[in-house]
Amino acid sequence: MLEYLKKPIIQDLFKFFGKSRFLIQNSSLNFPVFWILSSDLLKILNFLYFYKFNSYNFLFDLHGVDERLRKNSSKLPQADFSVFYHIISLKDNSDIMFKIALSENNLQVPTITSLFVNANWYECETWEMFGIVFIGHPNLRRIIMPNNWKGFPMRKNYPCRATEEQKLFFTLKEEQTAIDMLSFKPKEWGIKNDKTGFKYMFLNLGPNHPSAHGAFRILLQLEGEKIIDCMPDIGYHHRGAEKIAERQTWHNYIPYTDRIEYLGGCLNEMPYILAVEKLANIIVPKRVEVIRIMLSELFRINSHLLFISTFIQDTGSMSTVFLAFTDRQKIYDLIELITGARMHPAWFRIGGVAKDLPKNWDVVLKKFLQWMPKRLKFYIDVALKNSILISRSQGIASYTSQDAIRWGVTGAGLRATGIDFDVRKKRPYSGYQNFEFEIPIGSGLSDAYTRVMLKVEEIYQSLKILTQCLKNMPCGPFKADHPLTTPPEKNKSFKDIETLITHFLSMSWGIILKPNESFQMVEASKGINSYYLISDGEISSYRTRIRTPSFPHLQQIPSVIKNSVISDLIVYLGSIDFVMSDVDR
């Protein structure tokens, strides 16, 4: 932490505001964490936003913590609740986190939407989950929970399981109330119904529209086919994944990570596992690193193939999506051979992976690597170079690098604007620094066609990484020799009583991690996915914050699609590459 304090930005912060206004938190996070006063928040963030050398203008995450039951917190400010702000400088590739301590009698902080527009949804979610009010917010409302929801789900005194709740009896009156709440009332959404006597048309797109993925709707304000305004409506797929993490043991939560973004599979396991390993101070063998990368890149290709083919389907072509599922089947066959499962393998373990690679994994992978490049070229020549597809997507739903930063866009949507930021290169994890591959970058304007073509090129680069995994798979164990690795190797459990006891306790009770905080981001298929974990010395996480890429991407929709037509919106939605489980969590 002392090294971070020597950075010019930190020294300038201390000099401008006074060092006494910052309480430095000691943690295993690889960036400085400061507790500040609520009254200083906007001044400090404004200073960072316009910092002379490297502007900290990317709001990566914002959320809350119920601090009331947190053990081993004597070195932290006294607080009933807290709000944290994770800010990034893409230019300097560095992070700063600020925290504000709040008492239960005064759960109020100023909104930062005047500085970071993407804070809108983050503040709304924090309010409905914890009851923390953001003063000055333009429209503080529920975005995930129903309007008639009672209580704040992320508070510690709120039940984790349905069996802890009273039995639900849904009367006809309550059913009618629920239906009425789903009806669209323009005034409640802050939308004016008329302009100089002209009545606009309002249209529900979704949630049952195929382009809206069946669990997402957009409320459109139209003048003919022209979109005057729109309002994304999320929350149809909320499962309380962060709340569930507080009741599961560190190891038993792994299967839930697969389902955060159900196309990502092991890509979702990676940030959680790495964050836990940071808490446990576990260094895994080289073989584990490469195996994890291999599985991650297989899932990346699998996700990209579905995205590309369904995008082509959204623009009017049917054949590609059926052909792509043939290719995805080959990937699933390989994943099933290695892990025993397909979409949700839950195969990564704390300190390693579940099993070593099976026989003939290399033969199956080699066949796929020979098959896929020719197939991908076929998609490009037949569909992606089609003049109709190009005319419908080139120049459509475009935005600049400044727009991408303002809305917290990551992944191909950010790189299409010309910003070179891929976590695998900028912040290598699991040994990515040992691989040779390139990051496709756009020319400066992110439009629908550019975003798709970048993901095509990303598939080629993933194939390049897989080739290196095939040729250079290290020998050695598939688990770290560490007492917190779960579970221990089976052959040792059968022969050694101490290992058997450790196995039994870790699987039935769970491992105990020391009080600390950790953070890990990864380059997932749809953008940056991250886990921020707080341990207070128990068998479960005290707070698990999951930052997903699709959440800010959907929030950006109105700013991009206004004054376009409905057909452009369909193309735009197809180019975002979002999954609603990723949004709602």
173 lies in some domain = no
The residue out of 135, 152, 184 marking a domain boundary is 135
Same structural domain, 358 and 491: yes
Question: Which CATH number does the domain housing residue 74 bear?
Answer: 3.30.460.80
Same structural domain, 263 and 129: no
Beta strands 133-135 and 108-110, pairing class: parallel
Domain that holds residue 252: 248-549
582 lies in some domain = no
* Closest to 552 (Cα-Cα) out of 232, 127, 295: 232
Q: What is the rounded CA–CA span in Å between residue 563 and residue 573?
A: 15
Same structural domain, 128 and 274: no
222 lies in some domain = no
Runs of H (alpha helix) within 380-521: 387-393, 401-407, 412-415, 423-426, 448-471, 490-495, 497-508
User: Is-above-0.75 flag for pTM?
Assistant: yes
* Closest to 85 (Cα-Cα) out of 51, 53, 50, 46: 46
Same structural domain, 122 and 257: no
Q: What is the rounded CA–CA span in Å between residue 33 and residue 26?
A: 8
Q: Which residue has the tokens 């399981």?
A: 161
158 lies in some domain = no
Strand residue runs (E) in 224-273 = 226-233
55 lies in some domain = yes
pLDDT value of residue 177: 77
364 lies in some domain = yes
pLDDT value of residue 191: 58
Q: What is the rounded CA–CA span in Å between residue 551 and residue 143?
A: 11
As for how many domains the chain has, the answer is: 2
CB 514 within 8 A of CB 250: no
* Closest to 233 (Cα-Cα) out of 572, 558, 563, 529: 558
Q: What is the rounded CA–CA span in Å between residue 164 and residue 162?
A: 5
The residue out of 75, 104, 135 marking a domain boundary is 135
Tens-binned pLDDT, residue by residue, of the chain (585 aa)? 467 777 888 888 888 888 888 888 888 888 899 999 999 999 999 989 888 777 899 999 999 999 999 887 778 888 999 999 999 999 889 899 999 999 999 999 999 999 999 999 999 999 999 999 999 999 898 889 888 788 899 999 988 877 777 777 778 877 787 777 777 666 655 555 555 555 778 888 877 777 767 788 888 888 888 888 888 888 888 888 999 999 999 999 999 999 898 888 889 999 999 999 999 999 999 999 999 999 999 999 999 999 998 888 888 878 888 888 889 999 999 999 999 888 899 899 999 999 999 999 999 999 999 999 999 998 898 888 888 888 888 888 899 999 999 999 999 999 999 999 999 999 999 999 999 999 999 888 888 899 999 999 999 999 999 999 999 999 999 998 888 887 767 777 777 888 788 778 777 788 888 999 999 999 999 999 999 999 998 989 999 999 999 999 999 999 888 888 888 898 898 889 888 888 888
477 lies in some domain = yes
pLDDT value of residue 99: 95
Strand residue runs (E) in 27-80 = 33-36, 58-66
56 lies in some domain = yes
Question: Which CATH number does the domain housing residue 326 bear?
Answer: 1.10.645.10
Q: What is the rounded CA–CA span in Å between residue 279 and residue 282?
A: 8
Kindly report the number of other CB atoms within 10 A of residue 68's CB atom.
12
